[in-house]
Chains A and B, each alone.
Chain A
Amino acid sequence: MIDIDQYAYNNNFSSFHPLEKSFFALFTILITLTANSFMTSIIVIAVISLMLITAAGIPFKFYLKLLFIPLSFLIIASITAVVSFSRELNNYFFYFELGGWFFGLESKSLNTAVLLFLKSFASICCLYFLTLTTPVLEIISVLRKFKLPEIVIELMMLIYRFIFVLLDTADLIRTSQLSRLGYSSIKKSFFSIAKLISNLFIRAYYRAQGLLTALVARGYDGKIRVLERKYSFSYKNIMIIILFETFLIIISIFGGGNFV
């Protein structure tokens, strides 16, 4: 979580307009999901991964680690989707028999499963593209442009800021507990954790009060007005995005086909 946040600020795409990045990610997901094409998904996975690693400068190892979490779920889900069993011998292209039942792989369901797997994989890559290159605040500012209610935007902004403030506080409390052997046995650990959480609540409450005072001191009247940093659109980027999406659509139309 925190690592993703750090990369979001320190990558070679961070100066690009957040709208460009959001559109790129969303359109690509949309095309991948609607197209019934292996090619499309494979191209998306390859292009986005290459972009993130070579152009944006996300370390390969870190990216693999990130992918590993959803991929492991995906693989398990796909396997269960692809294996079928029945009393008769169906169109299995691979099977084995066990107590009068045939367990096997049907080419049709294998097709579906692989397509599903690739589509999900490609969508995950797109989402990682957005979260790894675009800071949360800018995603929020895109949402603001799309006229999400102010209250939701303000809450997101404050929550994002205070995650880190409270994390620091929790860290401090934990360190002081550790230095007094607060976690030296299971029983003590439970006690210390309980204390940490209740302490955190109290401090969060005082923080909220203090924050309100500081806001009022600067003329707060119930509405948080702020300006966004200005980004400029890059015609080059927009052209690249349009070309890539068109290319994807064409591939999806003509390059569709079956696996196996």
Chain B
Amino acid sequence: MSKKVLEAENVVFNYPDGTNALDGLSLSIEKGKKIAILGANGAGKSTLFLHFNGILKPKKGNIKFRGKKVSYKKKELKNLRKNIGIVFQDPDMQLFSSSVFQEISFGPLNLGLSETKTRERVDEAMQIMEITNIKDKPTHLLSYGQKKRISIADILAMKPEVIIFDEPTVWLDPKHSKEILGFINQINKKGTTVILSTHDVDLAYQWADYIYIFSDGKIIGEGNSEKIFRDNKLLKESDLIKPWIIEVYEKLIQNGKISSTVSVPKSKSELFELI
């Protein structure tokens, strides 16, 4: 069994207006993995993320970081926020400065790093996200995709152990979605645990090592992608559609074009090989 970085244990949370956003939710995130959280709007994905970073505190239940219950003491919160980074859904909500450099330097400085160290971190993050060429442009003259990259660099510069991406591809066109996913994979390859929320089943199927399905503040299914998406009952219950690759694969078996012992293709190219 590999190491768990983050866990939620029977977490219950209501917003002040009475909305029951999380309703006894438990899950655990393994170190170094790619985790997808699938769920419709309002299922509670963002609310859970704010718990992981200590911004919201569960009404009942616990959040555990590296196996230890989070106690919400000031020092511990600081450590949690250093290690769990969130890339928010809307970069316009996250970016507070019109200067790319100022923006990215904010996180590392809050960690107490020196000016020299911070400059190194900012330069490195800009290099990874390939935004060095726009570093002198003001935020308001940049495109949505560019702002998204800055918002990721913001977090990269803090070098957290886990990075959470809240619906990273939601307002991006296919080309830019692919680019951002490329960056996310690159970040994961270097050892960072990555959690991503989405309602794109094709994305979750092809990308994730492990998937959780959220509905109304609860987890109604979990497992690796093959298990989740071949479970017709679960899909029906969660109002999710089947990834098109699986649909084609099942059709091929049905029509006797391939035998049912052939393993499920994980990507478009694997599927084409079968055909």
B115/A227 in contact, CB under 8 A: yes
**Cα A211 to Cα B139 with chains together (Å):** 15
Instruction: Give A228 Cβ to nearest chain B Cβ, in Å.
Output: 7
Among residues of A, the one whose C-beta sits closest to the C-beta of B139 is: A161
A150-189 interface with B by 8 A CB criterion: 157-158, 160-161, 164-165, 168
B97/A157 in contact, CB under 8 A: yes
A contact residues around B140 at 8 Å (CB) = 161, 164-165, 168
Query: Is A6 in the interface zone, CB < 8 Å from B?
Result: yes
Interface residues on A, range: 20 to 34
Instruction: Give A239 Cβ to nearest chain B Cβ, in Å.
Output: 25
A227/B109 in contact, CB under 8 A: yes
B105/A214 in contact, CB under 8 A: no
A contact residues around B94 at 8 Å (CB) = 211, 214
Query: Is B242 in the interface zone, CB < 8 Å from A?
Result: no
B109/A225 in contact, CB under 8 A: yes
The number of A-B residue pairs with CB atoms under 8 Å apart is 106
**Cα A227 to Cα B120 with chains together (Å):** 12
B97/A161 in contact, CB under 8 A: yes
A contact residues around B253 at 8 Å (CB) = none
B contact residues around A220 at 8 Å (CB) = 106, 110
Query: Is A14 in the interface zone, CB < 8 Å from B?
Result: yes
Query: Is B138 in the interface zone, CB < 8 Å from A?
Result: yes
B contact residues around A251 at 8 Å (CB) = none
B93/A9 in contact, CB under 8 A: no
With A217-B50, A220-B110 given, name 8 new contacts (CB 8 A).
Answer: A168-B140, A210-B88, A217-B86, A218-B154, A219-B81, A226-B106, A227-B105, A227-B118
Closest 5 CB pairs of A and B: A219-B110, A164-B140, A226-B102, A227-B105, A225-B109
Q: Which residues of A contact B (CB under 8 A)?
A: 5-6, 9, 14, 135-137, 157-158, 160-161, 164-165, 168, 207, 210-211, 213-221, 224-230
